[in-house]
């Protein structure tokens, strides 16, 4: 997983350094619109598969298990195909929405198949999680990021469209490998004829609906800052801001192996009525990550001008203050990185939805106000405030859940 993180960061650095702020901004507009649309329409059936798959496995209800797998895959793929169609339909209008984004129609069309490919990969990954093989998932992810880095290295020198084509080629190979591994993992479960979900159907549909709404909000939160800057400013500011977000991406990736383990182990424990083990794991994660951030933040803030110059290049010097603010937001998000898996573990995605709704309600007006006035630095300040609000809301929610358990 950490190898995948390093390779992913290296791919981003290729984009930033080769394309420069303006080109990286144009690339980010395409990637941002694709991610926003696909996550907005995504049904997050993979999360339902993990949650209820563990339940059915613990209860040895294999007919229900196999029915759930088929339904989850069908719904996820159908939603992804719709997303791809919408992305293709938006291609001619990109230049009229974002300043400096003209001429990206071919890049958008090349990116249209990505949601369907990513949906198949997500379902394959969910199957591996159900087998407890997050080690295999980590290896496949490292391979995926290797291919993505190669695709960007080959395509980026020829422009944004070629970079997207490189990403598409890498994603195609990744989907084939992860899908095959996921299918092999599913075949290791006991065989049974698919059985109707019956009374569980309504609960599962409610879980998927709430989780999907939350995923849409997460997409909105992730991409609202750079995309809004593309509307109120131009693609140069988008490129600078995406460069400033590099520490946020790295910090999120630092916790990803732990979060994958938490999702697997804690969901299994919760379904076996071992809630105390779940809360003990959360305490260890929060204390460990908070201590690490307290030690890491001061030197990172001091070294930020040097880090920006070395990793991003002198063209990104105007993003130094924004990067410092983003590091603060990233530290908060890392300490509260357990929230996504925890909501799935306890089967209450509505908690995550409520927290992200409050965060988004704070973030959007601040982005519009701060971003239009102070550009990249203002957008970063808005992200810090919204991250702090998200942390406060989840702290209150966790106390309520703990008291009720």
For tokens 């937001």, what's the residue?
A: 329
**pLDDT on residue 165:** 96
**pLDDT on residue 154:** 95
Q: Give the whole-angstrom CA distance, residue 36 versus residue 217.
A: 9
| Whether the Cβ atoms of residue 54 and residue 130 lie closer than 8 Å to each other | yes
**pLDDT on residue 395:** 93
Helix residue ranges, H only, 233-315: 235-244, 246-254, 256-271, 275-307
**pLDDT on residue 221:** 66
**pLDDT on residue 164:** 95
Q: Give the whole-angstrom CA distance, residue 400 versus residue 237.
A: 41
CA distances from 347 to 212, 214, 273 (A): 13, 13, 13
Helix residue ranges, H only, 42-61: 45-59
405 residues of the chain, pLDDT tens digit each: 788 888 888 898 899 889 988 888 899 889 988 988 887 777 677 778 888 888 888 888 999 999 999 988 888 889 899 999 999 998 888 877 776 678 889 999 999 999 999 999 989 998 998 888 888 988 999 999 999 999 999 999 999 999 999 999 999 999 999 999 999 999 999 988 888 888 888 888 888 887 777 766 666 666 777 777 777 777 788 888 888 888 777 787 777 777 777 877 888 888 888 888 889 988 998 999 999 999 999 999 999 999 999 888 888 999 999 999 999 999 999 999 888 788 888 888 788 888 888 988 898 889 888 888 888 899 899 999 999 999 999 999 999 988 887
**pLDDT on residue 87:** 93
> Which residues are CB-neighbours of 326 under 8 A, at least 6 positions away?
244, 245, 247, 248, 380, 383, 384
- Enter the pTM of the model: 0.72
**pLDDT on residue 181:** 94
CA 243 to chain centre: 17
Tokens of 359: 């965060």
Q: What are the residue boundaries of the structural domains of the chain, listed by start?
A: 2-404
**pLDDT on residue 129:** 87
- For 135-210, list the strands marked E by DSSP: none
Closest CA to 312 of 377, 253, 242: 242
Closest CA to 114 of 86, 134, 149: 86
Q: Give the whole-angstrom CA distance, residue 242 versus residue 249.
A: 10
First-to-last alpha carbon distance for the chain, in angstroms, is: 33
Closest CA to 245 of 336, 324, 338: 324
Element (H, E) at 336: none
């Amino acid at each position: 997983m950490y190898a995948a993180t390093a390779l992913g960061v290296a791919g981003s650095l290729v984009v930033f350094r080769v394309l420069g702020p303006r080109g990286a901004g144009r690339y980010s507009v395409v990637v941002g619109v694709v991610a926003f649309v696909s996550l907005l329409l995504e049904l997050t059936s993979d999360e339902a598969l993990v949650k209820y798959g563990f339940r059915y496995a613990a209860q040895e209800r294999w007919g229900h298990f196999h029915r759930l797998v088929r339904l989850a895959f069908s719904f996820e793929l159908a939603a992804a195909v719709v997303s791809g169609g919408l992305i293709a339909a938006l291609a001619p209008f990109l230049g009229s929405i974002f300043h400096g984004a003209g001429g990206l129609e071919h890049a958008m069309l090349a990116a249209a198949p990505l949601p369907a490919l990513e949906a198949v990969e997500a379902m394959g990954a969910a199957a591996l999680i159900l087998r407890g093989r997050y080690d295999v998932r980590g290896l496949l992810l490292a391979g995926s990021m290797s291919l993505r880095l190669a695709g960007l290295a080959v395509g980026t020198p020829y422009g944004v469209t070629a970079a997207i084509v490189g990403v598409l080629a890498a994603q195609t190979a990744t989907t084939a490998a992860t899908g095959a591994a996921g299918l092999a993992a599913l075949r290791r479960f006991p065989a049974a004829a698919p059985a109707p979900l019956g009374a569980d159907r309504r609960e599962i549909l409610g879980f998927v609906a709430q989780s999907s709404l939350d995923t849409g909000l997460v997409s909105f939160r992730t991409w609202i800052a750079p995309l809004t800057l593309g509307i109120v400013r131009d693609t140069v500011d988008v490129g600078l801001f995406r460069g400033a977000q590099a520490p946020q991406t790295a910090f999120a990736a630092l916790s990803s192996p732990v979060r994958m383990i938490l999702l697997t182990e804690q969901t299994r424990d919760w379904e076996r009525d071992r809630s105390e083990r779940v809360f003990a794991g959360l305490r260890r994660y929060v204390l460990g990550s908070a201590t690490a951030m307290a030690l890491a933040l001061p030197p990172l803030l001091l070294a930020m001008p040097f880090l920006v110059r070395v990793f991003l290049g002198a063209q990104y010097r105007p993003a130094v203050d924004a990067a410092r603010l983003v590091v603060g937001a990233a530290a908060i998000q890392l300490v509260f990185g357990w929230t996504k898996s925890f909501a799935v573990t306890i089967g209450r995605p509505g908690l995550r939805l409520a927290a992200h709704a409050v965060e988004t309600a704070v973030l959007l007006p601040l982005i519009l106000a701060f971003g239009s006035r102070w550009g990249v630095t203002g957008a970063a300040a808005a992200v810090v405030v919204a991250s702090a609000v998200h942390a406060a809301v989840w702290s209150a929610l966790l106390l309520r859940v703990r008291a009720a358990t």
